[in-house]
Structure formats: structure tokens, C-alpha cells
Amino acid sequence: MIKINEIFYSIQGESTFAGNRTVFIRTTGCNLRCTYCDTKYSYYEGEMWSFEKILQQIKEYDAEYICITGGEPLLQPEIHKLINILCDLGHKVSLETSGSKSIKHVDPRVKIILDVKTPDSGAADSFLLENIDFSSESGPASTEYKFVISSENDLNWSENFCRQHDLLTKFTVLFSPSHGQVSEKWLAERILQKKLKVMLHLQQHKYIWLPTTRGV
């Protein structure tokens, strides 16, 4: 049993899997309280679901891609069993996590997106550095690092973090503008000026639908 906030079917708006038809499994609960969080409803809302019920719901959408998100999915140990089942069924599974919990035991077939929290998030000290050692540098399930940028300070901090831990030469690094706080154009121009080896990362679903629309 896993406490689920919602399961929905949409277009993936984030990571290098963006654009694909995807079933999203949003778990309940988060150990962080980021200032820009757009899914605060996932902190507490949810019900216990059996694996059978989850799989039946997923089957209805006939989607190859599955995204496990939250909240923080790794707060619930049973998530690993669900991930293993989904991989065994042939799904392309991605996991969105803050990196505040260890990814050591995550199925190696899963693409992990580590959302490293910047200073303006209010949770900059939450990332477990050991997760870098457990990250995959190559293959279809290679780890991606995401930084949500809310200011010039966030940008500089993120660049320094990447260089300090040699992320830019080993992994796909995503810099995403914090919606409503900095513009996409500003971040694009700063990436160009600094010649950063990162990808500008936009939350596509917030442009297709309203930014506040739930279940997309």
C-alpha cells in the first residue's frame, strides 16, 4: 500500500522525457517546504492505494512513460516495490526527487531527476551529496540534475554547485526559471552569456494549460 495524492494522464512537461504521453503518480507527503512549491496540496491530501489498484488505473491510459513524483516519493519505502513492478512491465519510468533522501536503492532502470534545492527555495542544505555517487552517468536511465532558479544568486550558486561536483561534464543539467519570479528570457540570456553547458528547462504544462491547473 502506498499513500497516493493523485494519478493523472498528461503530457510530460519536464526533463528530457518532455513531450511524451505520461501517467503521473503523485505520492502524498514531503519533508521540505520550498518557497515556490506549486503542489502544496500533496503535503497531506491522499489515500492509501494497493499496488493492484494503481496498476489497474495506469493500464487504462496505455502509456509507455510513467513519472513518479510528489511530494517526495522516497519517503514511502513501498515506492521501490512499485517502481520495480513498473519497470518489469516494460514502462519507461522516471522519478522526481529532491535528493534529500538516498537514491541508493532505486531501480537502475529508472531515470532519476534530482531537483537540487537552491538558496531561494529555503531548503538549500537538504541535498545528500552521497546521491552524486549513486547517480548514473550514461544510458537511457542516466540521472538528470535540475535547478530551479529564482534569482541571480540562485544562478551563481547553482553554477558553483555544478562546477564543484563536476556535474556539467557527467550529467544532463537542467536550469529552470522559477515561474513568476524570473523570466525565461532572462535565464536564457544568462545561460548564453555565461556559456553554461546546461539545458534551459521550461515546465511545458504551464504553457499548455494555466499554471494553476491541477492534474496536468
Structure confidence by residue, pLDDT tens digits, 44-97: 999 999 999 999 999 999 999 999 999 999 999 999 999 999 999 999 999 999
pLDDT tops 70 at residue 213: no
* pLDDT for residue 165: 96
How many CB atoms sit inside 10 A of residue 213's CB? 11
Q: How confident is the model at residue 172 (pLDDT cuts 50, 70, 90)?
A: very high
Q: How confident is the model at residue 211 (pLDDT cuts 50, 70, 90)?
A: low
Determine the average pLDDT of the residues in 12-31: 93
Determine the average pLDDT of the residues in 9-23: 92
pLDDT tops 80 at residue 2: yes
Question: Bigger pLDDT: 165 or 181?
Answer: 165
Determine the average pLDDT of the residues in 162-176: 96
β-bridge pairing 65-69 and 21-27: parallel
* pLDDT for residue 215: 64
Q: If you average pLDDT over every residue of the chain, what do you get?
A: 92
Compute the distance between CA of residue 64 and CA of residue 173 in angstroms, rounded to an integer. 24
CA 9 → CA 57, 61, 103, 188, 196, distances in Å? 10, 7, 25, 30, 34
Hey, what domains does the chain have and what are their CATH numbers?
2-208 (3.20.20.70)
Is the preceding peptide bond at 215 cis, omega within 30 degrees of 0? no
Compute the distance between CA of residue 198 and CA of residue 162 in angstroms, rounded to an integer. 10
Structure confidence by residue, pLDDT tens digits, 122-166: 988 899 999 999 999 988 889 999 999 999 999 999 999 999 999
CA 94 → CA 55, 71, 113, 115, distances in Å? 16, 15, 7, 13
pTM higher than the cut 0.85: yes
* pLDDT for residue 153: 96
Phi-psi sector, 213: left (phi>0), alpha (psi -120 to 50), beta: beta
How many CB atoms sit inside 10 A of residue 185's CB? 9
